[in-house]
Amino acid sequence: MSVDKATVAKIARLARLRVPEENLDGLAGELNNILGWIEQLNELNTAGVEPMTSVVAMSLPKRQDAVTDGGRAEDVVRNAPEAVGGYFVVPKVIE
């Protein structure tokens, strides 16, 4: 895929970037170089390569997935400036 000046101008407009006309040719060349590298990467055979989240093999710690209600409603409401019956009291808003 090749990028021309018109495509660079459209990309810049979509990204809401102001690019002077004299810089469009240089940006087109840089984008074409990037696309060339991507095409080279697409030529690699990655069959059998495990997806990685890091360059070092590691396993994430896991916890038991248990549903709880939190059990800390009293502690949360205690931080409120005003509470009644376990609920926050807020000023009435009427428009």
d(CA 23, CA 9): 10
Report the pLDDT averaged over residues 21-34.
Answer: 95
- pLDDT value, residue 71: 79
Q: Which residue has the tokens 């549903």?
A: 67
Q: 35 near 1, Cβ under 8 Å?
A: yes
From the list 68, 67, 87, the residue with the least C-alpha distance to 77 is 87
Q: Which residues are 84's β-sheet partners?
A: 87
**Average of per-residue pLDDT values in the chain:** 89
Comparing 70 with 32, the larger pLDDT belongs to: 32
